[in-house]
Amino acid sequence: MAKRDYYEILGINRDASEDEIKKAYRKLAMKHHPDRNPDNPKSEEMFKEGKQAYEILSDAGKRAAYDQYGHAGVEQQSGMGGGGAAGFGDAFSDIFGDIFGGGRGGGGRSNVYRGADLRYNLEITLEDAARGTETRIRIPTMEECEPCQGSGAKKGSSPATCPTCAGHGQVRMQQGFFSIQQTCPKCHGTGRYIADPCTSCHGAGRVKQHKTLSVKIPSGIDEGDRIRLSGEGEHGVNGGPPGDLYVQIHLKPHAVFQRDHDELHCEMPLGFTQAALGGEIEIPTLDGMARLKIPAETQTGKVFRLRGKGIKGVRSHGHGDLLCHVVVETPVNLTERQKELLREFEEINSQDSGRHSPRAKSWMAKVKEFFGTA
């Protein structure tokens, strides 16, 4: 596949000036940078093409070779470095400054970085999640150092351009035909050198502090939901914007209810006699007690649904339901008289067990069929 013309990639004439080349590259890189076009292979390829075109055309020697011999003229020089490397670094730092809200300072790139996002795990009760509330949290964070105002330099002084990399943050190591670009060992990629660091932050420009924030919990919030507090993350570097704080919601276990999105579930124990004869009982809801009619002959596993007694979710239009799961409770700690009555009941019941215990009769019939003894 034939390689595209470098001038065509940048959209410039062959007699374009150095400033015009740089301007065209910055425009292309801003448009097709991978951070602005995630999961877009075409933009990523165009970004790489633009980078290669700028690296050649910004170097006077490589540009002359390209103009005379085309791609063959510069392929022999690949990896040999040259004067275009510094220009490429300058343009690239300008582009990243535009993308991330920073810009270049005097003498080199400023390395303006957005502060890190933070996460805070907040446990709340089911009642607070259902109705909404407001609470206060205390979080550790990195804030701008007040004595040096974030510069990292002692009061009365200021950071200087790194003498090793001339403020570019990277140095180029030449070994024969190979050229390797790596982070500057003196300034660690910042492009700045602090001769007299601030005694409070030791040159970092930020210090660890704690701050207290008020968080509004909307009604209906659920387990795993996040609340974003814009600008409440860590302070940016070199004047960059702060990050965000994400409050991750976790629900405390409830003594009665289990939540499933907008629905609530609870177990409803019924006494042996009550399940057989039926009746009316009181059951708890988040809004108070409610009465529920129990029909006669209710079995374990029966589910009663109370409409609208659940939770109205953050993105829901109405309340969910409360589902009560019946558990028939076997009597314990029986007196002799109670045991006597139960034995009498069992004797009467056994005379027509199929009528009074149809599920047991059906089950036994299936067991006999399985073993071939029916």
Instruction: Assign 3-class secondary structure to 17-61.
Output: CHHHHHHHHHHHHHHHCCCCCCCCHHHHHHHHHHHHHHHHHCCHH
pLDDT at 105: 40
| pLDDT-based confidence at residue 76 (cuts at 50, 70, 90) | low
pLDDT at 129: 92
Percent of the chain with pLDDT over 70: 80
Angstrom CA distances, 40 to 34, 36, 205, stand at 8, 9, 36
User: What DSSP element (H or E) covers 180?
Assistant: strand 178-183
Provide CB contacts within 8 A for 184, sequence distance 6+: 162, 164, 165, 168, 169, 170, 171, 191
Angstrom CA distances, 155 to 152, 159, 242, 260, stand at 9, 11, 23, 57
Query: What's the mean per-residue pLDDT of the chain?
Result: 79
Q: Which fold has domain 6-100?
A: Helix Hairpins (1.10.287)
* Most confident segment among 58-72, 89-103, 223-237: 223-237
Higher-confidence residue of 203 and 52: namely 52
Side-chain-facing half-sphere of 124: CA atoms under 13 Å:
29
Residue 90 has pLDDT above 60, yes or no: no
CATH number attached to the domain at 254-330: 2.60.260.20
pTM: 0.53
How many whole angstroms separate alpha carbon 189 and alpha carbon 207? 20
Q: What are phi and psi of 44, to 5 degrees?
A: -60, -40
* Most confident segment among 27-41, 209-223, 360-374: 209-223
Is-same-fold flag (6-100; 254-330)?
no
Residue 14 has pLDDT above 70, yes or no: yes
pLDDT at 81: 42
Residue (of 104, 126, 110, 134) closest to 247 by Cα position: 134
Residue 243 has pLDDT above 80, yes or no: yes
* Domain edges within the chain: 6-100, 254-330, 335-374
| pLDDT-based confidence at residue 87 (cuts at 50, 70, 90) | very low
Reduced to 3 states (helix: H, G, I; strand: E, B; else coil), residue 209 is strand
pLDDT at 179: 67
pLDDT at 73: 66
Averaged pLDDT, 294-302: 88
Provide CB contacts within 8 A for 201, sequence distance 6+: 145, 147, 148, 152, 207
